[in-house]
Amino acid sequence: MADDAKNDFEPKILGFLCNWCSYTGADLAGTSRLQYPSNIRIIKVMCSGRVNPQFILKAFQEGADGVLVSGCHPGDCHYIKGNYHARRKLTLLHDLMDHMGIDPGRFQLSWVSASEGHKFAEVVTKFTEQVRELGPQTKMAGGGGQ
Amino acid sequence: MPDQSDGIIPQYYEDVPLEDDYLIQVPEIAKLDDEWPQAESDAAIVAETAIHSRKRKMEGDVLIVGAGISGMQAALDIADKGYRVILIDKSSTIGGNMVKLDKTFPTNDCSICTSAPKMVEVSRHPNITLLTYAEIADLKGEAGNFTARVYRKSKYVDPDKCTGCDDCTPVCPVDVISVFDEKLAKRKAIYIEFPQAVPIVYTIDYEACVGCGSCERVCEPGAISFLEKSEDIEVKVGSVIVATGYELFEPVEMRREYGYGKYPNVITAMQFERLLSSFGPTEGKARRPSDGEKPESIAWIQCVGSRSKQLGWPYCSRVCCMYATKEASIQKETDPETDVSIFYMDLRAYGKDFQQYYDKAKDMGVEYIRARPSSVYENEDKSITIRYMDTHTREVKEKTVEMLVLSTAIIPSQENQRLAEVLGIDVDESGFFQVKSIMTDPIESTRDGVYLAGCDQGPKDIPDSVAMASGAAAKAISDIVDRDQAEAVEPPEQKDVTGEKPRIGVFVCHCGKNINGYLDCKEVADYIGEQPYVEYATDIMFACSEDTQKDIREKIEEEGLNRVIVAACSPITHGGLFQDTMVEAGLNKYLFEFANIRQHCSWVHSHDREEATQKAKDLVRMSANKSALLEPLEQEEVSVIPSVLIVGGGLSGMRAALALSDMKIKTYLLEKDPELGGMLRRLHTLFPSDVKASDIIDPLIKRVSESEFITVMTGSTLEDIEGFIGNFEATINTPGGEEKLEFGTAIIASGFGEIDLTGRYGYGDSEKIMTQTELEERIEAGTLEKPKTVVMVNCAGAMEPERPYCCRVGCGVSIKNAKMIKEMYPDSDVYILYRDIRVFGKDEEEYFTDVIEGKRVKIVRYTYEEQPEVAVDDDGNVMVTVHDSIYGDTLELPADLVVLTAQTEGNESVEGLMEMFKIPAGPGRYLIEAHAKIRPLDFATDGVYFCGSAHFPKNLADTIAQSEGAASRAAIPIMKGTLVLEGITANVLEEICSGCGLCVAACPFSAIDLESGKAIVNTALCKGCGVCTATCRAGAIQQKGFKDEQILSMIKGAMHEVY
């Protein structure tokens, strides 16, 4: 793809944030008036452990170019160990993505606490740029891969 | 909000005379007029108006003075029991000192993240009336019937109109040094202390305001009111809790020694906390005040203002060793290249997991230097050189660092004297509030009906403050227990919307310019109005204002709405408010959905109106998709059996039982031994006073056996536990056979003991070698013969890989027993071999100093690497060999009595209890609390609490405070009577469930069981995390409110315009 086209490309990014840490961290980014790219659309879940790998695949199928999942730092889970479940499942999914023909760079799992507004803005900015570099996701979009 | 744009203020020393404490002075009550002034619409009359006030009266059950973590905890404990609390704080926000901290030791939890939810809970609790910017002026009456006068200063901002939008601060021309940011940053004359402040109402600093009216002109909701009056409130209550906290030693007197206030790169530890804090002046980065650059090296000096009769206070400030360790390790973690060192005298890592935390800091490269530096000087490049004497070589050395942090002591508030006069209570010799008795009544003040919580009676860490606050709540309740509980407001009957076509109403909030200034709210509302199932959509100025709430209720009625979406700020702060509005309109609260278009959209994309508008449309559309699929959720109610089971009849079990008895709650007190008393039965006297253990325990046993609410079951053990919070059933082995008991909540008070040292330190080889407890038994029995030389070995078996913790009580016990022997036999030589003397807090350090100075007890410091050896020769002579790490020589001490201060561990019964109650234990079988800082008495399992040495060894005062605190916690469900369970729970679709058991294994709360091949959810245990739902391969278990189809509809909504 030509560089110009890449720069014009606005990726669609979906973010799953846990209620207790990362969603609140995203709130703090707002309260602190930090600026980050507007590509991300956020879905709140109670715990990152709620994120079924199916959601991520579904998002790609519906046309997402990148998916971000963020929860409490390991050890800080509001539900004791939900984020460990997320970590196990989603690390496995991450490893499988290559196999499915989707660049693993299109999916990211991160830990953002309720006090890390800056970190949230940073994660989103970096991830958006990373996905922008990768260009549009065509492998599964539009129900592809079926 | 503090102005962070300029970062740290470099030369704040020149700007701010340090003598000035910059606190707002309260106008004298005596100046108050009964007459109101004539109102004039001119800001300039602010000064005039301030001394006039409006009078009103309030009634409640308990008045709490101070809304830091202790005051908030006490308030919640009382309000949750159905009694009405009036909570006042002199600051414009609640939260106290804890919210200033970056992280908390030893878990490195973010401090604001753990305190903010408590602040919100306090502000939303129907039984708590919050009065900020208010101080107590008088307290008359007696326990059960007090009349207080509370003076509430005007904030000159209408709390009902202020939306916390922050439009006012950029236009304010006045800069004020921020006390909240420890004078490292500026704020405006109109301000909130920090972004998460509660209530989120701005305050005009009356002293600083120039009355220009700029804020009034930009405030869209018209919240600025220069005519807002101060209030003079008469408050009638039954009891009072004082939780006014502490101040920190301001080391200006040590200008010469440590250069604070003279050299810019010398700061206090609290200032360093603000630098580390993500919402502090440097947004979480350590920076040198002299030039704002990153320091390559930082040193901490401990005991600044503490452990010194000459400069400061004689007591140990209890928390400084650990907070310095925390700050140093956070710095090391963030920037491993930084050279980080701590100058200390004794490293007091006495608490649960503290020693491990300290060991970890050492592993990370934090250098600990044992010295009390004599002086520091500044170099030309503004770095600081510290002069100290190396305790090993006795040489004077120097170390140069780019930044020096002084670990300043917790000291009594300067206002304590005045407050004590107002409250009619005493202060102690240091200026802290005097407790009635540290050995029997550590929560009571010297006035009946007035209780103390937190650091206003002495330095404490957060969990000890929280535990004491719960204890104070139990005490305060016992004075008013015969009063009627506050009546819950019955909501209107809920409309049944099942089977109805979704009719969604959407309210898009402008939040003044905060949303509408950066995106087009009207366009969003028009767009969403066209979406499927959206029946009504509008844009509104302020969704949270009282009149809009009324609008929403009316529209629900007029338009027949059965789902509502508010597109505004955040569900975290405002979700509860709109859910309440739903309930008031007769709709189930789970039919409400939030779209966050402020924090997640307008504020973070404020440079591209088009993009932001598009994103807002998408966010609201996603919510609409989910809203159409929302279902009303039922919140189950369970009744609570009104009795408590207490496991363990030692000091803590008995104190908990008595506290519950004072609240007229029935308890079963279970003790495995034939008699009550536990560990205290084996002790002679108790640290840090010389009161006899029997003088403590005997009256307690008498009171317990006389209480009509306590059933004592001695010689009995637990066999099995079934059920959950509110409805437990126990099977108990009693001397008379098996018995069944039903109870609502349980307290574990299973205690602790010394470890078996057989084969080590010569223990078991000679009659002359014994543990501290055995020594006390011998003294108690009168069989201790006069020894010539006594050697006590502290930390026997402690802080080793197998048991890596410090036992917390050993140093105190050894000092007390050494003193006792010297008093019995003044000619005997007594040695204490120690690693660090960990007598922490008030009273303990003083006791220690007194013994060392007066009793001629010799102390010898040894290190972990060179442990003392105890040898017994063939003739039975005992020789102790120890390497003195301070003087460097090896001592050979022929001893005719060796006393081992043995490491401790939790009672062996803990293993069975863990299984039965589904509770965890850590190293040394000590039980693990739900949260190390803010839930120190609870388990993650609801309805089960704990106290005393089952948690970790502790002294008498801490044990009593914790036990009464656990009683308060256990009483909450009982006094509520019924429990409303969370509506968002897991639900099994039986026809799909294959009974594979994956969800059972995944559930963090053991809420799922397999019964006849199907998963069954116990909704009383389910917390609604949804981990099971994500784990099920068949979609057979669904999280209500977050079902697969609901989340999938949002995924689709995010990607496509068309539903």
The number of C-beta contacts closer than 8 angstroms across A and B is 156
Beta carbons of A52 and B1044 less than 8 Å apart: yes
Query: How far is B614 from chain A, CA to nearest CA, in Å?
Result: 9
For position B23, what pLDDT does the model report?
Answer: 32
Contacts of A24 in chain B (CB under 8 A): 113, 572
For position B268, what pLDDT does the model report?
Answer: 96
Mean pLDDT to the nearest integer, B943-969: 96
CB-CB contact of B744 with B943 (8 Å):
yes
Residue of B nearest to A118 (CA): B278
For position B5, what pLDDT does the model report?
Answer: 41
Q: Does A45 or B251 have the greater pLDDT score?
A: A45
Domain ranges of chain A: 13-134
Residue ranges of B 197-226 with Cβ closer than 8 A to chain A: none
Flag whether residue A42 sits within 8 Å of chain B, measured between CB atoms.
yes
Q: Looking at the predicted structure, is the pLDDT value of residue B1055 above 70?
A: yes
Beta carbons of B1025 and A36 less than 8 Å apart: no
Nearest Cβ partner of A30 from B279, B599, B1044? B599
Query: How far is A96 from chain B, CA to nearest CA, in Å?
Result: 18
Beta carbons of A45 and B1047 less than 8 Å apart: yes
Flag whether residue A11 sits within 8 Å of chain B, measured between CB atoms.
no
Tokens, residue A20: 């207790």
Q: Does B549 or B67 have the greater pLDDT score?
A: B67
* B705 φ, ψ (degrees, to nearest 5): -70, -20
CA dihedral B228, B232, B235, B239 (to 10 degrees): 110
* Rounded distance between C-alpha atoms, residue A32 and residue B8, angstroms: 17
pLDDT in tens, B781-819: 999 999 999 999 999 999 999 999 999 999 999 999 999
For position B8, what pLDDT does the model report?
Answer: 57
Interface predicted TM-score of the whole assembly (ipTM), two decimals: 0.96
Q: Looking at the predicted structure, is the pLDDT value of residue B37 above 50?
A: no
For position B545, what pLDDT does the model report?
Answer: 75
For position B919, what pLDDT does the model report?
Answer: 85
For position B549, what pLDDT does the model report?
Answer: 83
- Which amino acid belongs to residue B403? M
The secondary structure of chain B in percent helix, strand, coil, rounded to multiples of 5, reads 30, 25, 45
For position B43, what pLDDT does the model report?
Answer: 41
Tokens, residue B164: 């916390």
Query: How far is B14 from chain A, CA to nearest CA, in Å?
Result: 29
pLDDT band at B51 (very low <50, low <70, confident <90, very high): low
Mean pLDDT to the nearest integer, B918-922: 85
Query: How far is A79 from chain B, CA to nearest CA, in Å?
Result: 7
Flag whether residue A62 sits within 8 Å of chain B, measured between CB atoms.
yes
pLDDT band at B1058 (very low <50, low <70, confident <90, very high): low
Beta carbons of B1027 and A79 less than 8 Å apart: yes
For position A7, what pLDDT does the model report?
Answer: 62
The mean-pLDDT minimum among B42-56, B118-132, B155-169 falls in: B42-56
State the first-to-last Cα distance of chain A, in angstroms, to the nearest integer: 25
pLDDT in tens, B641-691: 999 999 999 999 999 999 999 999 999 999 999 999 999 999 999 999 889
Strands (E), A24-89: 40-45, 66-71
Mean pLDDT to the nearest integer, B333-351: 94
Flag whether residue B113 sits within 8 Å of chain A, measured between CB atoms.
yes
The mean-pLDDT minimum among B88-97, B147-156, B240-249, B511-520 falls in: B511-520
Beta carbons of A114 and B113 less than 8 Å apart: yes
Flag whether residue A55 sits within 8 Å of chain B, measured between CB atoms.
yes
Beta carbons of B279 and A121 less than 8 Å apart: no
For position B34, what pLDDT does the model report?
Answer: 34
Nearest Cβ partner of A49 from B614, B1025, B1052? B1025
Strands (E), B513-671: 534-540, 563-568, 592-596, 637-639, 643-647, 666-670
User: CB neighbours (10 Å) of residue B119?
Assistant: 24
Q: Looking at the predicted structure, is the pLDDT value of residue B564 above 80?
A: yes
Tell me which residue of B652, B750, B666 sits closest to B697, measured CA to CA: B652
For position B48, what pLDDT does the model report?
Answer: 45
Mean pLDDT to the nearest integer, B975-997: 93
Strand order in the sheet with B789-796: B769-771, B897-902, B789-796, B829-834, B858-861
DSSP assigned state of B797 = T
For position A5, what pLDDT does the model report?
Answer: 53
pLDDT in tens, B601-626: 999 999 999 999 999 999 999 999 99
Beta carbons of B1026 and A46 less than 8 Å apart: yes
* B928 φ, ψ (degrees, to nearest 5): -105, 125
Cis amide prior to B373 (ω within 30 degrees): no
Residues of chain B with pLDDT > 90, as a percent, come to: 79
pLDDT band at B742 (very low <50, low <70, confident <90, very high): very high
pLDDT in tens, B5-35: 444 554 333 333 333 333 333 333 323 333 3
CB-CB contact of B650 with B691 (8 Å):
no
The separation between CA B845 and the C-alpha centre of its own chain, rounded to angstroms, equals: 25
Beta carbons of B601 and A64 less than 8 Å apart: no
Which ranges of B825-926 does DSSP label H, i.e. alpha helix?
A: 844-855, 910-917
Contacts of A23 in chain B (CB under 8 A): 572
Residue of A nearest to B1032 (CA): A52
For B548-582, the three-class secondary structure string (H helix, E strand, C coil) is: HHHHHHHHHHHHCCCEEEEEECCHHHHHHHHHHHH
Query: How far is B1027 from chain A, CA to nearest CA, in Å?
Result: 5
Range B602-628 burial, b when 16+ CB lie within 10 A, else e: bbbbbeeeebbbbbbbbbbbbbbbbbb
| Region at B244 (left for phi over 0; alpha for psi -120 to 50; beta for the rest) | alpha
For position B3, what pLDDT does the model report?
Answer: 42
Beta carbons of B109 and A76 less than 8 Å apart: yes
For position B942, what pLDDT does the model report?
Answer: 86
- CA–CA–CA angle B701, B702, B703 (5° rounding): 95
Query: How many CA atoms lie within 13 Å of B252's alpha carbon, on the beta-carbon side?
Result: 9
Q: Which residue has the tokens 């046993």?
A: B701
Residues 6 or more apart whose Cβ sits within 8 Å of residue B554:
none
Contacts of B113 in chain A (CB under 8 A): 21, 24, 113-115
Q: Looking at the predicted structure, is the pLDDT value of residue B541 above 80?
A: yes
pLDDT in tens, B479-519: 999 999 998 777 889 999 988 999 999 999 998 778 999 99
pLDDT band at A28 (very low <50, low <70, confident <90, very high): confident
pLDDT band at A143 (very low <50, low <70, confident <90, very high): low
Flag whether residue A115 sits within 8 Å of chain B, measured between CB atoms.
yes
Flag whether residue A102 sits within 8 Å of chain B, measured between CB atoms.
no
pLDDT in tens, B258-309: 999 899 999 999 999 999 987 889 878 899 999 999 999 999 999 999 998 8
CATH code, A13-134:
3.40.50.960
Query: How far is A135 from chain B, CA to nearest CA, in Å?
Result: 16
For position B359, what pLDDT does the model report?
Answer: 95
Flag whether residue A34 sits within 8 Å of chain B, measured between CB atoms.
yes
For position B40, what pLDDT does the model report?
Answer: 39
* Rounded distance between C-alpha atoms, residue B75 and residue B64, angstroms: 7
Residue ranges of B 548-607 with Cβ closer than 8 A to chain A: 570-573, 596, 598-601, 603-607
The mean-pLDDT minimum among B234-243, B257-266, B360-369, B537-546 falls in: B537-546
Beta carbons of A79 and B1023 less than 8 Å apart: yes
For B21-47, the three-class secondary structure string (H helix, E strand, C coil) is: CCCCCCCCHHHCECCCCCCCCCHHHHH
Beta carbons of B1004 and A82 less than 8 Å apart: yes
CB-CB contact of A40 with A15 (8 Å):
yes
Beta carbons of B615 and A38 less than 8 Å apart: yes
Beta carbons of A46 and B1042 less than 8 Å apart: yes
Mean pLDDT of chain B: 91
Chain A interface mutation, best of B165, B192, B597, B604, highest count of A Cβ atoms under 10 Å: B604
Tokens, residue B453: 């919580």
The mean-pLDDT minimum among A8-12, A111-115, B541-545, B738-742 falls in: B541-545
pLDDT band at B555 (very low <50, low <70, confident <90, very high): very high
For position B19, what pLDDT does the model report?
Answer: 34
Contacts of B284 in chain A (CB under 8 A): 118
Beta carbons of A34 and B604 less than 8 Å apart: yes
For position B132, what pLDDT does the model report?
Answer: 96
Query: How far is A3 from chain B, CA to nearest CA, in Å?
Result: 22
Mean pLDDT to the nearest integer, B41-52: 44
Flag whether residue A15 sits within 8 Å of chain B, measured between CB atoms.
no
User: CB neighbours (10 Å) of residue B311?
Assistant: 14
Beta carbons of B1027 and A113 less than 8 Å apart: no
Measured between alpha carbons, how far is residue B902 from residues B763, B770, B799, B809 in Å? 11, 9, 11, 10
Range B824-839 burial, b when 16+ CB lie within 10 A, else e: ebeebbbbbbbbbbbb
Q: Looking at the predicted structure, is the pLDDT value of residue B751 above 60?
A: yes
Chain B interface mutation, best of A14, A19, A28, highest count of B Cβ atoms under 10 Å: A28
Q: Looking at the predicted structure, is the pLDDT value of residue B886 above 70?
A: yes
DSSP assigned state of B692 = B
The model's pTM is 0.84
Flag whether residue A125 sits within 8 Å of chain B, measured between CB atoms.
no
For position B9, what pLDDT does the model report?
Answer: 53
Nearest Cβ partner of B1026 from A49, A77, A81? A49
**If 0-12 CB within 10 Å is exposed, 13-18 middle and 19+ buried, where does residue B31 land?**
exposed
Mean pLDDT to the nearest integer, A123-135: 97
Beta carbons of B110 and A38 less than 8 Å apart: no
Query: How far is A69 from chain B, CA to nearest CA, in Å?
Result: 13
Q: Looking at the predicted structure, is the pLDDT value of residue B39 above 60?
A: no
* Rounded distance between C-alpha atoms, residue B811 and residue B833, angstroms: 10
Residue of A nearest to B598 (CA): A30
* Rounded distance between C-alpha atoms, residue B745 and residue B941, angstroms: 11
pLDDT band at B111 (very low <50, low <70, confident <90, very high): confident
Mean pLDDT to the nearest integer, B447-455: 98
Mean pLDDT to the nearest integer, B701-717: 97
For position B166, what pLDDT does the model report?
Answer: 87
For position B838, what pLDDT does the model report?
Answer: 94
CB-CB contact of B900 with B813 (8 Å):
no
Beta carbons of A31 and B1029 less than 8 Å apart: no
